[in-house]
Structure 1
Amino acid sequence: MPAILGIALVVTMLLGVPIAIAIGVSTMAALMAGGIPTTFLAQGAFTSVDNFPLMAVPFFILAGTLMETGGLSQRIVNVASRLMGNVTGGLAIVTVMACMFFAAISGSGPATVAAIGGIIIPSMIKRGYGRDYAGAVASSGGSLGILIPPSIPMIVYGIVGNVSISSMFIAGIIPGILVGLALMLVSYIIARKRGYTGSGEKFSLAELGKAVWEAKWALFAPILILGGIYGGIFTPTESAVVAVVYGMIVGLFIYKELTWKDLPKCFINAALTVGAVMIILGTSTAFGRLITMYQVPQAVASLIGGISQNKYVVLMLVNFLFLITGTFMETLSQVIIFTPLLLPVVTSLGVDPIHFGILLVMGAEIGFLTPPLGVNLFVATGIAKVSLEEVSKAVIPFIIALFAVIVLITFVPQIALFLPQVLAK
Structure 2
Amino acid sequence: MNAGLILIGTFFILLVLNVPIAWSIGMSVTLYMLTSGSFGLSYIAQTMFTACDSFTLMAIPLFILAGALMEGGGLSKRLIDFADSMVGHRQGGLAIVTVLACMFFGAISGSAAATVATIGVIMVPSMIKQGYSKGFSYALIAAAGVLGVLIPPSIPFVTYGVATNASIATMFMGGFGPGILCGVLLIAVSQYICRKNGWQGNGRQFTWKRVGQTFVSAIGALLVPVIILGGIYGSIFTPTEAAAVAVVYALMVGFLIYRELTFKKLVASLSTSAVTTATIMVIVGTATALARMLTLEKIPMELANWIGGLTDSRILVLLAMNVFLLLVGCVMDGTPAILILAPILQPIAADYGVDIIHFGLMMCLNVAIGFCTPPVGLNLFVASSLGNIQFMSLCKRIVPFLLALIVALMLVTYIPVISLGIPWLFGYGS
Runs of 4+ in 1 over 3 A off after TM superposition: none
Query: Are residue 54 (structure 1) and residue 57 (structure 2) matched?
Result: yes
Match for residue 202 of structure 1 among 205, 211, 224 = 205
Residue deviations 1:19-68, cap 9 Å, x none? 11101111111111111222221122111110001000001001111101
Aligned-pair CA distance for 1:417: 1.1
Check the 8 A contact 1:144/1:180 in 2, yes or no: yes
Q: Which residue of 2 aligns with 1:110?
A: 113
Check the 8 A contact 2:72/2:266 in 1, yes or no: no
Q: Which residue of 2 aligns with 1:153?
A: 156
For 1:324 and 1:88, how far apart are their aligned partners in 2? 36
For 1:31 and 1:310, how far apart are their aligned partners in 2? 38
Aligned-pair CA distance for 1:201: 2.0
For 1:98-137, list aligned pairs within 5 A: 98-137=101-140
For 1:280 and 1:118, how far apart are their aligned partners in 2? 28
AA in 1 matched with 2:333: E
Q: Which residue of 1 aligns with 2:333?
A: 330
Aligned-pair CA distance for 1:392: 1.0
Query: Are residue 382 (structure 1) and residue 385 (structure 2) matched?
Result: yes
Match for residue 31 of structure 2 among 17, 29, 32 = 29
Report the 3-state secondary structure (helix = DSSP H, G, I; strand = E; otherwise coil) of the residue aligned with 2:321. Answer: helix
For 1:8-407, list aligned pairs within 5 A: 8-36=10-38, 37-407=40-410
TM superposition score normalised by structure 1 = 0.98
Residue deviations 1:43-96, cap 9 Å, x none? 221111100010000010011111011100000000110111111211111011
For 1:361 and 1:178, how far apart are their aligned partners in 2? 14
Q: Which region of structure 1 is more displaced relative to structure 2, 352-361 or 197-206?
A: 197-206
Aligned-pair CA distance for 1:202: 2.4
Residue deviations 1:147-187, cap 9 Å, x none? 11111111111111011110111011111111110111111
Aligned-pair CA distance for 1:346: 0.9
For 1:225 and 1:117, how far apart are their aligned partners in 2? 25
AA in 2 matched with 1:408: L
Aligned-pair CA distance for 1:200: 2.5
Aligned-pair CA distance for 1:15: 1.4
Report the 3-state secondary structure (helix = DSSP H, G, I; strand = E; otherwise coil) of the residue aligned with 1:215. Answer: helix
Report the 3-state secondary structure (helix = DSSP H, G, I; strand = E; otherwise coil) of the residue aligned with 2:114. Answer: helix
For 1:217 and 1:326, how far apart are their aligned partners in 2? 35
Q: Which residue of 2 aligns with 1:5?
A: 7
Residue deviations 1:247-285, cap 9 Å, x none? 111111111111122211110011111111111111111
Check the 8 A contact 1:134/1:384 in 2, yes or no: no
Aligned-pair CA distance for 1:194: 2.0
Report the 3-state secondary structure (helix = DSSP H, G, I; strand = E; otherwise coil) of the residue aligned with 2:331. Answer: coil
Query: How many equivalent pairs are there?
Result: 425
For 2:33 and 2:348, how far apart are their aligned partners in 1? 25
AA in 2 matched with 1:326: G
For 1:47 and 1:310, how far apart are their aligned partners in 2? 38
TM superposition score normalised by structure 2 = 0.97
Residue deviations 1:217-273, cap 9 Å, x none? 011111111111111111100011111111111111111111122211110011111
Aligned-pair CA distance for 1:422: 1.8
Aligned-pair CA distance for 1:10: 1.2
Aligned-pair CA distance for 1:195: 2.0
List runs of 5+ in structure 2 lacking aligned partners: none
Aligned-pair CA distance for 1:385: 2.1
For 2:277 and 2:20, how far apart are their aligned partners in 1? 16
For 2:291 and 2:134, how far apart are their aligned partners in 1? 40
For 2:166 and 2:100, how far apart are their aligned partners in 1? 29
Aligned-pair CA distance for 1:203: 1.6
AA in 1 matched with 2:384: T
For 1:86 and 1:307, how far apart are their aligned partners in 2? 53
For 1:90 and 1:384, how far apart are their aligned partners in 2? 21
AA in 1 matched with 2:193: I
Check the 8 A contact 1:292/1:340 in 2, yes or no: no
For 2:107 and 2:61, how far apart are their aligned partners in 1? 16
AA in 2 matched with 1:2: G
Check the 8 A contact 2:131/2:199 in 1, yes or no: yes
For 1:233 and 1:112, how far apart are their aligned partners in 2? 28
Check the 8 A contact 1:58/1:270 in 2, yes or no: yes
Residue deviations 1:117-144, cap 9 Å, x none? 1111111121121111111111111111
Aligned-pair CA distance for 1:293: 1.5
Q: % of aligned pairs identical? A: 45
For 1:371 and 1:40, how far apart are their aligned partners in 2? 35
Report the 3-state secondary structure (helix = DSSP H, G, I; strand = E; otherwise coil) of the residue aligned with 2:263. Answer: coil
